[in-house]
């Protein structure tokens, strides 16, 4: 990592292809005994080279916006291998997705189903759709990334779903391909997954009784990863929670993992640009990366391990590792025991492959950090550092 940082500069994101391959394989193997399709959720990391790599493993794609549909296509996915999810799809996005023949559109409301049907009918097509249900299940993750509760904006209330399907049976332009649920991200226990699968299957069985010939159920994403290095639900345990429910139904399951495929594979490498100590002993290390490069800690107080790349000898003491932005939430770690730190030292923020670079911004006119992919002992810059000319290119 030191050599890469010396060559491309800091801050930079560095990804391991091997880690992505093994994480993908673990999920695929966990569901091996049941017909399944993995649709990698591009929202976790949509850098083209990463998406292409995951496609090469046999994955399909889950796009959460029109932009992500286009990235998936650029990465080589056939439209039929893309599911299009998203809580507020615009007319333009729907028209594009339908015209391209996207595999399934996961609709978020009865009104959206009607818009999908109308647009497809006007295009002389039949769009495949699945309705996203809101099962009122607590995913047990951070409130900002829990999406399956009644108080959240996602999907339709479970008790309304059957009627919505029935009322739209035979609507020109619409074909019901499945049912969709996604109760949240960074799920760390089995129970919410079991309950989500059970609810999904129960509804699908009712719809089967009603004569709908569903092709799949979509369990969403959400499998968590161990940010603090503690034991965590494994893909096998995740599958073990879902599969007994799915077997009652017998049709293929679509999975939309994002974080679990790319999260561990990435590190954000940054340089210490200042250190200071306040009376009372609070010690700060200020990095050249902040919430503009990695927003998760400021957004959800998330934990990332901080590792000096060349640890100095000396006792560990508590450090606040912070970004350079004038916002009090621009903090990566508080009171973190670390060895002595000095200006110019490099540190890596671990497990930043998911929801890292995708959420980066130009706040303070920072230029987006470069991204490097290590594969088979070689490394390649897969996204160069943005220049000031790039940043200003859209402005008069
Ligand atoms: C609809 C949908 N599917 C899949 C995902 C991927 O979730 P995760 O990265 O937790 O697997 C998300 C992210 O929250 C999502 O909103």
- Best residue among 23, 61, 221, 296 to mutate for probing ligand 1's pocket (most ligand atoms within 8 Å of CB) is 221
pLDDT at position 267 = 98
Query: Quick check: helix, strand or coil at residue 335?
Result: strand
Q: Mind listing the pLDDT tens digit for each residue in 122-171?
A: 999 999 999 999 988 877 777 776 677 777 888 999 999 999 999 999 99
pLDDT averaged over every residue in the chain: 96
Over residues 296-313, the mean pLDDT reads 96
Q: What is the DSSP string of 181-192?
A: ---BSSB-SHHH
User: Does residue 75 register a pLDDT over 70?
Assistant: yes
User: Does residue 78 register a pLDDT over 70?
Assistant: yes
Residue 66 in contact with ligand 1 by CB distance below 6 A: no
Residue 43 in contact with ligand 1 by CB distance below 6 A: yes
CB 108 within 8 A of CB 64: no
User: Does residue 341 register a pLDDT over 70?
Assistant: yes
pLDDT at position 230 = 75
- Best residue among 86, 182, 263 to mutate for probing ligand 1's pocket (most ligand atoms within 8 Å of CB) is 182
Query: Quick check: helix, strand or coil at residue 257?
Result: coil
Residue 297 in contact with ligand 1 by CB distance below 6 A: no
d(CA 187, CA 190): 8
User: DSSP label at 326?
Assistant: S
pLDDT at position 333 = 98
Query: Quick check: helix, strand or coil at residue 106?
Result: strand
Active site residue 326: yes
pLDDT at position 147 = 72
Residue 68 in contact with ligand 1 by CB distance below 6 A: no
Residue 182 in contact with ligand 1 by CB distance below 6 A: yes
CB 255 within 8 A of CB 200: no
Catalytic residue among 170, 211, 314, 326: 326
- Best residue among 23, 256, 257 to mutate for probing ligand 1's pocket (most ligand atoms within 8 Å of CB) is 256
Residue 257 CA to ligand 1 center (angstroms) comes to 6
pLDDT at position 143 = 74
Over residues 62-87, the mean pLDDT reads 98
Residue 311 CA to ligand 1 center (angstroms) comes to 36
Cα–Cα separations (whole angstroms), residue 188 to 148, 209, 231, 302, 359: 15, 34, 10, 14, 23
Residue 217 CA to ligand 1 center (angstroms) comes to 15
Residue 220 CA to ligand 1 center (angstroms) comes to 6
User: Does residue 36 register a pLDDT over 90?
Assistant: yes
Nearest protein CA to atom 5 of ligand 1, as residue: 221
Over residues 40-69, the mean pLDDT reads 98
User: Does residue 174 register a pLDDT over 70?
Assistant: yes
Q: Mind listing the pLDDT tens digit for each residue in 88-121?
A: 999 999 999 999 999 999 999 999 999 999 999 9
Across the chain, where does the E strand assignment appear?
Answer: 12-16, 36-41, 60-63, 82-84, 104-107, 127-134, 156-157, 174-180, 216-218, 253-255, 266-277, 283-287, 306-308, 317-322, 331-338, 346-350, 371-375, 378-383
pTM: predicted TM-score of the whole model, two decimal places: 0.96
Residue 260 in contact with ligand 1 by CB distance below 6 A: yes
Over residues 176-200, the mean pLDDT reads 95
Residue 370 in contact with ligand 1 by CB distance below 6 A: no
């Amino acid at each position: 990592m030191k050599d890469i940082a010396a060559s491309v500069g800091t801050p930079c994101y560095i990804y391991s292809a091997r880690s992505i391959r093994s994480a993908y394989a673990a999920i695929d193997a966990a569901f091996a005994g049941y017909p399944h399709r993995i649709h990698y959720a591009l929202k976790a990391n949509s850098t083209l080279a990463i998406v292409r790599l995951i496609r090469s493993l046999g994955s399909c794609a889950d796009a959460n916006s029109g932009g992500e549909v286009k990235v998936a296509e650029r990465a080589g996915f056939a439209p039929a291998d893309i599911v299009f999810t998203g809580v507020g799809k615009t007319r333009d996005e729907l028209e594009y997705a339908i015209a391209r023949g996207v595999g399934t559109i996961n609709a978020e409301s009865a009104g959206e189903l009607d818009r999908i049907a109308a647009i497809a009918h006007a295009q002389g097509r039949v769009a495949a759709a699945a309705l996203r249900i809101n099962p009122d299940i607590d995913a047990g993750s951070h409130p900002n990334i829990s999406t399956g509760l009644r108080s959240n904006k996602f999907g339709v209330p479970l008790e309304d779903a059957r009627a919505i399907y029935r009322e739209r049976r035979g609507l020109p332009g619409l074909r019901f391909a499945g049912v969709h649920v996604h109760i949240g991200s960074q799920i760390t226990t089995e129970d919410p997954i079991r309950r989500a699968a059970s609810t999904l299957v129960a509804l699908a069985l009712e719809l089967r009784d009603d004569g709908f010939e569903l092709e799949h159920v979509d369990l969403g994403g959400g499998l968590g990863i161990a940010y603090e290095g503690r034991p965590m639900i494994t893909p096998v345990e995740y599958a073990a929670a879902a599969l007994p429910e799915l077997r009652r139904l017998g049709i293929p399951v679509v999975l939309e993992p994002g974080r679990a495929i790319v999260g561990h594979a990435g590190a954000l490498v940054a340089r210490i640009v200042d250190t200071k100590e306040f009376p009372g002993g609070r010690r700060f290390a200020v990095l050249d990366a902040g919430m503009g490069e990695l927003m998760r800690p400021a957004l959800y107080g998330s934990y990332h391990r901080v590792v000096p790349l060349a640890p100095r000898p000396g006792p560990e003491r508590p450090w606040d590792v912070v970004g350079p932005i004038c916002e009090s939430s621009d903090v990566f770690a508080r009171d973190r025991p670390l060895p002595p730190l000095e200006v110019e030292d490099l540190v890596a923020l671990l497990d930043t492959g998911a929801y890292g670079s995708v959420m980066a911004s130009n706040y303070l006119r920072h230029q987006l950090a470069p991204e490097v992919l290590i594969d088979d002992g070689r490394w390649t810059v897969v996204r160069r550092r943005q220049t000031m000319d790039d940043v200003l290119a859209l402005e008069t």
